[in-house]
Amino acid sequence: MKFTNQTGSIVAMITPFHENGSVNFDVLTQLLERQIAAGTDGILTLGTTGEYPTMSHEEDASVVAHTIKVVNGRVPVIVGSGSNCTATQVEKSIEYQNMGADALLLIAPYYNKANPEGMVRHFAETADRVNIPCLLYNVPGRTGCSIPVSVVEKLSKHPRISGIKEASGDMSYAMKIAHCVGPDFALYSGNDDITLPLMSIGGSGVISVFANVMPGVCHQIVADYAGGNQARALENHLKYLNLMNDLFLEVNPIPVKSAMNMMGLNVGPLRLPLCEMSEEHQKILRATMKEAGLL
């Protein structure tokens, strides 16, 4: 399925595990079907929420293949292929493209970081080697570096760099790159709590953690705003804002997997160094979920 000009709610999928730590493909199938039934506009696999840093390359490929097979073209599938090693990023991007990915998500190079020119080359080298759309992923809280505005401006002109997932939470930064938005370059919120503010400056939607829990609601909020019913979008965004925020009481995806297990979705444990949520935070999250009608 073509990804060009994709709008809406794109879920940043968790990866379900068995108690022994292996990937639970049966539950993954159920979760993907649940998303599509609820109207989710796209699937992101192997993002931060999917715990890909603790998965082997073979597991990554298996999850991608399974996701593409189950989704079967019903919505676009975006695959996180980013790395702080450009050569590895290129290798994975080509592999996932050949497996049938509709688009790729490329994170800023973490740990080793880069100067602006190195960052341009890091992303452009990958985009030059594939023929499907690539999204930049700005999440300085994870990577220790932000993609400079000048880099976004340059890369927004690349024919295969089709947008950015902006997850800094910095509206000033978002405003500075908003002029890059157009028919060939989209802005997606990477933070559920500011989806509507990002859409107000030209954003196309959200790549969402919250959508793992309430996919239908997340889809409707974005659809309402894009469709002109901004009052209803704001009403629902504010209604579930506490839940969106509480899904980040601890480092993602600890809270969202905890919430899904509370809902009986049986997504299993996390992989170290992530571990179960503290009892104090579980109580807070459980109360918020009850207020939202999930428990």
* Cβ atoms 10, 41 nearer than 8 A: yes
Averaged over 13-38, what is the pLDDT? 98
Whether the pLDDT of residue 4 is over 80: the answer is no
Averaged over 88-115, what is the pLDDT? 97
The verdict on whether 154 is a catalytic residue reads: no
Structure tokens at 6: 């994709």
DSSP 8-state class, residue 12: E
Whether the pLDDT of residue 5 is over 90: the answer is no
Whether the pLDDT of residue 1 is over 90: the answer is no
Q: Which entry of 52, 92, 154, 165 is annotated as an active-site residue?
A: 165
DSSP string, 128-143: HH-SS-EEEEE-HHHH
Q: What is the pTM of this model?
A: 0.95
The verdict on whether 137 is a catalytic residue reads: yes
Whether the pLDDT of residue 291 is over 70: the answer is yes
Q: Round the CA-based radius of gyration of the chain to a whole number and report it.
A: 18
Helix, strand, coil % in the chain, rounded to nearest 5: 50, 15, 35
Report the pLDDT value the prediction gives residue 6, as an integer from 0 to 100: 84
H/E stretch holding 42 = strand 42-45
Report the pLDDT value the prediction gives residue 2, as an integer from 0 to 100: 64
* pLDDT, mean over the chain: 96
Averaged over 85-105, what is the pLDDT? 97
Query: For strand 77-80 and strand 161-166, is the pairing parallel, antiparallel, or unpaired?
Result: unpaired
C-alpha 161, offset from chain centre: 16
pLDDT tens-digit profile of 38-70?
999 999 999 999 999 999 999 999 999 999 999
Q: How far apart are CA 103 and CA 92, in angstroms?
A: 12
Per-residue confidence at 168, pLDDT binned at 50, 70, 90? very high
Query: For strand 42-45 and strand 8-12, is the pairing parallel, antiparallel, or unpaired?
Result: parallel
pLDDT tens-digit profile of 243-264?
999 999 999 999 999 999 999 9
Q: Which entry of 52, 92, 96, 137 is annotated as an active-site residue?
A: 137
Report the pLDDT value the prediction gives residue 3, as an integer from 0 to 100: 76
Whether the pLDDT of residue 225 is over 80: the answer is yes
Averaged over 203-209, what is the pLDDT? 97
Averaged over 9-14, what is the pLDDT? 98
DSSP string, 218-284: HHHHHHHHHTT-HHHHHHHHHHTHHHHHHTTSSSTTHHHHHHHHHTT-------TT--PPPHHHHHH
- Please classify residue 2 by burial: count the beta carbons closer than 10 Å to its beta carbon, then call 0-12 exposed, 13-18 middle and 19+ buried: exposed
Report the pLDDT value the prediction gives residue 66, as an integer from 0 to 100: 98
Residue 109 φ/ψ, nearest 5 degrees? -65, 110
pLDDT tens-digit profile of 176-195?
999 999 999 999 999 999 99
H/E stretch holding 78 = strand 77-80
